[in-house]
Amino acid sequence: MPKDTSLNKILVIGSGPIIIGQAAEFDYSGTQGCLALKEEGFEVVLVNNNPATIMTDTKIADAVYSEPLTVESIEKIIAKERPDGLLATLGGQTALNLAVELDQAGILQKYGLKLLGTSIESIQKGEDRELFRKLMIDLNEPIPESKIVEDVPSALQFADEIGFPIIIRPAYTLGGKGGGIAYNREEFISIVTNGLKMSPINQVLVERSIAGFKEIEYEVMRDAKGTCITVCNMENIDPVGIHTGDSIVVAPSQTLTDEEYQMLRQAALKIIDALKVVGGCNIQFALDPESKQYYVIEVNPRVSRSSALASKATGYPIARMAAKLAVGYSLAELKNPLTMSTYASFEPALDYVVVKFPRWPFDKFTKADRKLGTKMKATGEVMAIERTMEAALQKAAESLELNNIGIYLPKLVKEDTSALINRLQHADDERFFILMELLRRGVSIDELHSQTKIDYYFLHVFNHLIELEGKAKKEKLSPSLLKELKFFGFSDRSISYWQKTEEKEIRKLRKEWGIKAIFKMVDTCAAEFEARTNYFYSTYVFGENEAVSTRGKKKALVIGSGPIRIGQGVEFDYSAVHCIQTLQKLGYDAIMINNNPETVSTDYETADRLYFEPLTVEHILNVVENENIDVTLVQFGGQTAINLAEKLEKAGVKLLGTTSELLDILEDRERFYQLLDETNIPHIQGAMAHTKEEAISEAKKLRYPILLRPSYVIGGKGMVKVKNQEELLSLVEQTDENHFPLLLDEFLFGQEAEVDLIADGKNVFIPGFMEHIEPAGVHSGDSYAIFPAVSLSKEIKEKMTDYAERMVQHLQYKGIMNIQFLIDGQDVYVLEVNPRASRTVPIVSKVAGVPLVDLATTILTGKMLTDLHPQIAAHEYVAIKYPVFSTHAHSDVDMKLGPEMKSTGEGMCVGKSVEEAMRKVFDHLFPIHSDGIFVDGDKKDDVLDYIKPVTDNFESWLEKKEAVLYYNPEENDQAKARRQKALERGIMVLTEEASFQAFLSALTVSKYTPISLHELSDKGVEMSL
Amino acid sequence: MQGYLVLEDGTVFEGKMDEIVSPVKGELVFYTGMTGYQEVLTDPSYKDQIVVFTYPLIGNYGINDQDFESKKPQVKGVILFQLTEHYSHYKANRSLKDYLQKWNIPYLTNVDTRAVVKQIRSKGTLHAVISKDKQYDSQDKLSDFPIRDVSASEIETFGNGATHIALIDFGFKKSILNSLLKRGCKVSVVPFHQMEKVFEIKPHGIVLSNGPGDPKQMKNYFSTLNQLMKQYPTLGICLGNQLIALSFGGNTTKLRFGHRGANHPVIDQKTGNVFITSQNHSYVVDKKSLEKTPLKLRYTNVNDGSVEGLEHEKLKVMSVQFHPEAHPGPEDASFIFDEFLDTYVAAGREKVYA
């Protein structure tokens, strides 16, 4: 079937700001989808209020709206743009739910909007527990005994029949939000009560637990003609019981016979066909490890995190194909873009192993509940490709950027064996490393199997790794041992650790002994057909190197930012992708190295060559050597890339614009303050302490409160505000030695502002000033912010500019830089300088109409600012950046904001005034009933002038349907408990007076109008590079 | 110990092997499916072939008693990246390694299997030896009539259903038999050299099985086949498909490097439906040669357009190049058996009993 020619303009709904369960994968699928539609000649209108994405770039769609993802807001856009088609299967649960709501509100009908791809009816059959259950029964597909309940007594009745454990899954929530496993009556009542509240339709499913079964997923596709294919299957190493987003997953399945593989595949195809899905669909099964009995667990009739993973694991571009299927094409009509000689109606064959490892935020949320269950807690993930399971696991572990040395997590050494075995009973984020540690201590595979139900196949692989590690520890390194270790994925760093030598020594030895990495291609077809891909992974010891370096253009390597985590989100991928695109425009061969399967940067179509590798010195050097890289850029891969700079430089890699000397000056507090003193830039009083004693003596010279933190951090990791000496003493006493040196800074109360600037060593271009709404003390990533700033005086801005210029000129800095300022009256202090693209770069670029990364890249490759003449868009709109928190996933983490970052994502709304933009930010709370807002805490009188107080007490207010916002700025236990209760009921919580005032300003606005980013930039001057 | 895969064009791939008595020779082919090694090894169509598994981890779920396609491994040798020794599966009772050793099937591990595939892709199917030396030198002879080596010697009957099918054995896969039994058939497996006995058996239909080697080796049987097909509804699978084409005057040619895997898309020219099939063949029916025959093209390969299935203009004869019985591979094409039994065989029976 060819393209649907009745369509001209298609509205695509994105997934909004990043939250756990809905992350960068939807930037990847959304970008692919929009580009696929444009390729077919459709006009594309996109609504997505996550500015830190490639898909919201004005060149991806014909109109991009960073507007609220609410029915009201989308109706306004529909009324304005009058699209004739709606594609809602690329924007996660958010878009899917909106499509259902738009349909139910009669808006699709009112505007004659055709829903493309999977129908509403099918979506509901997949998503609504009862409809889904009925369909499975009709199809004769097995599902675990379960019951849909809308109240606690009926849930209890089920529990009495079935017994515990029981799984609770609320309807229509993402990432298993509000669900869990209950092992007893008490837990059961609590989870069910909460789940009912979290479900938008107050419905939960209670279900017999099949924990311990193998968890197998299939990514399937179907076209409107009914052709079905499976792109990939995946096996969770962790059996059923842990959310697949929190599981270590391998592709393809490893422990299924062909009969089992085909049995589940056939069931998957039968289900997708019955659902009449048009596009991609994810189906999860539980398979009894001792029989052919299986159950269908879940169906997601849309592209998902798993489909992004499957796309990267196989090379098959699911979202791109799904978009084409949605506009009428059939699979057999579409070419496989990797081979261009075969068609999309085939099933990829892998000749390598893929491991996905989740990345959890417990390095930030140190006190949060680390236990894993049916509710997803990971913020991101890494993927690794290799030819043995052992090596793939090692690569994945190397990519995590935690305090692990490969498969070894030193902190576990201190825990005794029985405690570690205990920790296995209820899985947590360190389970893989605990298993490794226990095997290291000689605990049997049988014991580990009985504790975890992990398949023996995987446990044997784990044990093999430990056997090899034992050799690395005890034996003298010989060429044959080194070969064996490299073959099974031991990094030079791991080997050097066990051999008590330096990493570079191992690299040297390898070269002497001729043991090197070669690169293999990902081509969807196991080399059966000639492929034209540029997508590679490394493997060691033997084999043909398929990534033969091409001659001709100069080669530039861009280092990516790795897994999404708090403090380093999709915005860094945005920068990396822009850098790649600019390098290509400038005539370079742009080469990407990254390990995050969710992102646009790891789409094989983004760079000229993609190396899917851990971001470690060893792997980067391998690529540099293999490709004969001319220049490497580390300014666009967040702190991950910056942290690698020194070692790369020492290894002789030519970095553009970044030197270890520069980084040291900016990151070593003593040298940084010295720099500020030399350039006469005011800074806060502070010191650096290398020992506990030094910390105590240095603190005596400062005024409390003091901000205490380790140096070299991402997103304020480990930052604490210390009120007095007593607190300091106790904290310093508890601090682990490897966290030193510590930074101590006086804590000033004042306004924060920041700039993202472009510098060419002499000249500075500042596209605008961003002011934070909350005062200093709230991490910049968690603050509401206004761009361009509205309250900063001309004098203040001049000071900021002056300081920025002085700094750049003194450092002769080239590229992109972020400077954070503190403003106290007329005084401006420099707080922090980041010599890299920052979190706010996409916002500034989009609102000012200036592509900052493109400019920076152009300058880094040799141009001067005076050659480029960047100009700021001449509009009078203002943008609000707002933080978004994943409290659904980490409900035990207190929302009270502080110097440590807690948000997982950010959104942006644009308005003619700050108030209008704010109105959009809080649109999802509207209409707000007079009982909707509860103001709590000692200082409530400060804000109560503005709104009518709620007369209820807190507990009874909580139960009200109208309750939407809870404000409590206090730092005590009661406040914390109340915030938590509010969050658990899906009520928004604000903890800062400034944020609350900002919210109040939104109440003054009753109407708002959507504005596209194209309209903003059209008001500016197009810059040519 | 060190071992080598030496191709007839002189290309040498290194690997690790156990001691073998003497070098073995075979036709080098590759299988791209990610599961199903037990089925592949025991599929008689792989007679005299050295199979390269493109998936790097083979042996994870061991060997069990149920998933054999014939009584013993049929391949000449096996080329692997990694052979998993610590298998895990509730049905398994031995490792793949033990199984190969028991049957003296030479195997080479730690081979850059992807590079081997690329060599086959660029040179076409080649012969190769597995040896401890780097020489293409082997006393090992390939069978001059592989079908004879893998087919049964006596007629044997299975099941007791009302519909009686004669499965003519050119080296049949057990799953073809199972597919028929599962659908309530009584099946008589007739060795190809006794095919004329079908006239005595008087089945309701005939299935021509898969089998190894060049279909033209069966030319002495074409006229008998032709006679049989005039009398009985017939389904040809794989080699059976090629034999049908040849019996009606068509031609077969050898593909550059064959189709072997679980992911081959096939389109039904009648309905436009596309489905994924399991395949294992080197030879293919020449599309052009069909013009002079009473055979019509029913199925084609989506990727290379090659012939995937035929229908006779008048007779109740249908054939497919792919494997509707799956094992290994997807079961999307199992409808072929239903179509054959429900439409072709049942219609014939009505006539008989009318």
From A510-514, A716-720, A904-908, the region with the lowest mean pLDDT: A716-720
Cβ neighbours, 10 Å, residue A633 = 27
Domains and CATH numbers, chain A: 9-116 (3.40.50.20), 119-144+212-348 (3.30.470.20), 145-209 (3.30.1490.20), 401-515 (1.10.1030.10), 519-657 (3.40.50.20), 883-1003 (no CATH)
User: Quick check: A991 and A896 in contact, CB under 8 A?
Assistant: yes
Give the span between the Cα atoms of A889 and A883, in whole angstroms.
16
- Class of B146-353 per CATH? alpha beta
The answer to whether residue B270 neighbours chain A at the CB level (below 8 Å) is no
Instruction: Count, in order, helices (H) and strands (E) of chain A.
Output: 36, 37
- The confidence band for A713, taking pLDDT boundaries of 50, 70 and 90, is low
Sign of CA dihedral B338, B344, B347, B352: negative
Intra-chain end-to-end CA distance of chain B, in Å: 69
Of A337, A346, A225, the residue nearest A277 (C-alpha): A225
Of A260, A332, A348, the residue nearest B275 (C-alpha): A332
Which residue in chain B has the smallest CA separation from A340? B303
Task: Tell if the CB–CB gap between B86 and A257 is shorter than 8 Å.
Answer: no
Q: What is the reported pLDDT for A247? A: 97
- The confidence band for A1020, taking pLDDT boundaries of 50, 70 and 90, is very low
From A559-573, A874-888, A928-942, B279-293, the region with the lowest mean pLDDT: A928-942
The answer to whether residue A226 neighbours chain B at the CB level (below 8 Å) is yes
Calculate ∠ Cα A337-A340-A342, nearest 5°. Answer: 100
Task: Tell if the CB–CB gap between B56 and A258 is shorter than 8 Å.
Answer: no
Task: Tell if the CB–CB gap between B329 and A457 is shorter than 8 Å.
Answer: no
Task: Tell if the CB–CB gap between B89 and A291 is shorter than 8 Å.
Answer: no
The answer to whether residue A79 neighbours chain B at the CB level (below 8 Å) is no
Q: What is the reported pLDDT for A1024? A: 38
Question: Tokens 């509207």 map to which residue?
Answer: A926
Which residue in chain A has the smallest CA separation from B274? A227
The answer to whether residue A256 neighbours chain B at the CB level (below 8 Å) is yes
Judge if the upstream peptide bond of residue A165 is cis by omega within 30 degrees of 0: yes
Distance from CA of A444 to the nearest CA of B (A): 15
Task: Tell if the CB–CB gap between B331 and A290 is shorter than 8 Å.
Answer: no
Q: Which of residues 247-266 of B touch A (CB under 8 A)?
A: 261-265
The alpha carbons of chain B give a radius of gyration, in whole angstroms, of 20
Cβ neighbours of B95 in A, within 8 Å = none
From residue A780, alpha-carbon distances to A630, A682, A889 in Å are 36, 20, 22
Cβ neighbours of A520 in B, within 8 Å = 114
Q: What is the reported pLDDT for A1? A: 66
| Longest CA span, chain B | 69
Of A594, A591, A590, A639, the residue nearest A616 (C-alpha): A594
3-state DSSP assignment of residue B315: coil
Distance from CA of B261 to the nearest CA of A (A): 9
Task: Tell if the CB–CB gap between A258 and B36 is shorter than 8 Å.
Answer: yes
Show the 3-state SS of A844-893: HHHHHCCCHHHHHHHHHCCCCHHHHCCCCCCCCCEEEEEEECCCCCCCCC
**For residue A11, what are its two tokens?**
């509205």
Cβ neighbours of B90 in A, within 8 Å = 289-291
The answer to whether residue B62 neighbours chain A at the CB level (below 8 Å) is no
Show the 3-state SS of A882-926: EEECCCCCCCCCCCCCCCCCCCCEEEEEEECCHHHHHHHHCHHHC
CA atoms within 13 A on the CB side of B297: 20
Question: Tokens 């400019």 map to which residue?
Answer: A855
Question: Tokens 């993802």 map to which residue?
Answer: A69
Q: Among the residues of chain B, which ranges form H helices?
A: 37-42, 96-102, 113-123, 146-150, 174-182, 198-201, 222-231, 239-247, 335-339, 346-353
Task: Tell if the CB–CB gap between A457 and B88 is shorter than 8 Å.
Answer: yes
Query: Per the annotation, does A646 bind a ligand?
Result: no
- The confidence band for A711, taking pLDDT boundaries of 50, 70 and 90, is low
- The confidence band for B346, taking pLDDT boundaries of 50, 70 and 90, is confident
Element (H, E) at A650: helix A638-650
Of A752, A538, A496, the residue nearest A647 (C-alpha): A496
* Nearest-by-Cβ selection for A343 from B55, B115, B303: B303
* Nearest-by-Cβ selection for B265 from A345, A351, A457: A345
Which residues touch A503 (CB under 8 Å, ≥6 apart)? A492, A493, A496, A617, A618
Cβ neighbours of B110 in A, within 8 Å = 542
* Nearest-by-Cβ selection for A544 from B32, B67, B112: B112
Q: What is the pLDDT of residues A789-810, one digit of tens each?
A: 999 999 999 999 999 999 999 9
Beta strand A555-559 pairing with A631-633: parallel
Give the span between the Cα atoms of A513 and A508, in whole angstroms.
9
Size of interface A-B (CB pairs under 8 A): 159
User: Quick check: A725 and A699 in contact, CB under 8 A?
Assistant: yes
**For residue A213, what are its two tokens?**
């079964």
B89, B95, B331: best mutation site toward chain A, by most A Cβ within 10 Å? B89
Give the span between the Cα atoms of A336 and A879, in whole angstroms.
41
Give the span between the Cα atoms of A248 and A254, in whole angstroms.
13
Please provide the average confidence, as pLDDT, over all residues in chain B.
Answer: 95
Q: DSSP states of A225-236 as a string?
A: T--EEEEEEEEE
- The confidence band for A106, taking pLDDT boundaries of 50, 70 and 90, is very high
Cβ neighbours of B36 in A, within 8 Å = 257-258, 261
Residue A615 reports pLDDT greater than 70: yes
Of A105, A290, A313, A88, the residue nearest A218 (C-alpha): A313
Task: Tell if the CB–CB gap between B54 and A526 is shorter than 8 Å.
Answer: yes
Instruction: Count, in order, helices (H) and strands (E) of chain B.
Output: 10, 21
CA atoms within 13 A on the CB side of A269: 20
From A222-226, A852-856, A1019-1023, B135-139, the region with the lowest mean pLDDT: A1019-1023
Task: Tell if the CB–CB gap between B331 and A266 is shorter than 8 Å.
Answer: yes
The answer to whether residue A525 neighbours chain B at the CB level (below 8 Å) is yes
Task: Tell if the CB–CB gap between B276 and A253 is shorter than 8 Å.
Answer: no
* Nearest-by-Cβ selection for A349 from B110, B263, B272: B263
Delimit the domains of chain B by residue range. 2-131, 146-353
Please provide the average confidence, as pLDDT, over all residues in chain A.
Answer: 93
Question: Tokens 């269908």 map to which residue?
Answer: A296
Distance from CA of B90 to the nearest CA of A (A): 6
Which residues on neighbouring strands pair with residue A1012, listed in sequence order? A65
Q: Which of residues 7-36 of B touch A (CB under 8 A)?
A: 14, 30, 32-36
Q: What is the pLDDT of residues B169-178, one digit of tens each?
A: 999 999 999 9
* Nearest-by-Cβ selection for A255 from B89, B262, B330: B89
Give the span between the Cα atoms of A650 and B26, in whole angstroms.
52
Of A897, A751, A930, the residue nearest A826 (C-alpha): A751
Residue B257 reports pLDDT greater than 60: yes
What residues of B act catalytically? 238, 323, 325
Give the span between the Cα atoms of B126 and A225, in whole angstroms.
40
Which residue in chain B has the smallest CA separation from A262? B330
- The confidence band for B354, taking pLDDT boundaries of 50, 70 and 90, is very low
Q: What is the pLDDT of residues A19-48, one digit of tens each?
A: 999 999 999 999 999 999 999 999 999 999
Query: Per the annotation, does A820 bind a ligand?
Result: yes
- The confidence band for A931, taking pLDDT boundaries of 50, 70 and 90, is confident
Instruction: Over range B96-110, report the average pLDDT.
Output: 96
Q: What is the reported pLDDT for B91? A: 97
Q: What is the pLDDT of residues B44-93, one digit of tens each?
A: 999 999 999 999 999 999 999 999 999 999 999 999 999 999 999 999 99
Cβ neighbours of A229 in B, within 8 Å = 265, 276
3-state DSSP assignment of residue A994: helix
Q: What is the pLDDT of residues A288-297, one digit of tens each?
A: 999 999 999 9
The answer to whether residue A733 neighbours chain B at the CB level (below 8 Å) is no
Cβ neighbours of A252 in B, within 8 Å = 34-35, 55
Of A115, A105, A64, A65, the residue nearest A85 (C-alpha): A115
Q: Which residues of B are annotated as a binding site for L-glutamine?
A: 45, 211, 213, 239, 242, 280, 283
Q: What is the pLDDT of residues A812-870, one digit of tens each?
A: 999 999 999 999 999 999 999 999 999 999 999 999 999 999 999 999 999 999 999 99
**For residue A958, what are its two tokens?**
């909580």
Of B128, B151, B277, the residue nearest B213 (C-alpha): B151
Q: What is the reported pLDDT for B352? A: 47
Instruction: Over range A501-509, report the average pLDDT.
Output: 97
Residue B104 reports pLDDT greater than 60: yes
Q: Among the residues of A295-374, which ranges form H helices?
A: 305-314, 318-326
Q: What is the reported pLDDT for A176? A: 66
Cβ neighbours of B326 in A, within 8 Å = 262
User: Quick check: A70 and A360 in contact, CB under 8 A?
Assistant: no
Give the span between the Cα atoms of B239 and B160, in whole angstroms.
27
User: Span B2-131: which CATH code?
Assistant: 3.50.30.20
User: Quick check: A79 and A107 in contact, CB under 8 A?
Assistant: no
The alpha carbons of chain A give a radius of gyration, in whole angstroms, of 27
From residue A136, alpha-carbon distances to A141, A143, A275, A295, A302 in Å are 5, 7, 10, 10, 18
**For residue A782, what are its two tokens?**
């968690």
Question: Tokens 């398994």 map to which residue?
Answer: B92
* Nearest-by-Cβ selection for A346 from B110, B114, B303: B303
User: Quick check: B25 and B127 in contact, CB under 8 A?
Assistant: yes
Task: Tell if the CB–CB gap between B329 and A262 is shorter than 8 Å.
Answer: yes
Most confidently modeled range among A21-30, A338-347, A712-721: A21-30
Residue A81 reports pLDDT greater than 80: yes
* Nearest-by-Cβ selection for A387 from B64, B81, B327: B81
Which residues on neighbouring strands pair with residue A611, listed in sequence order? A536, A593
* Nearest-by-Cβ selection for B34 from A330, A331, A350: A350
Q: What is the reported pLDDT for A328? A: 95
Q: What pTM did the predictor assign?
A: 0.94
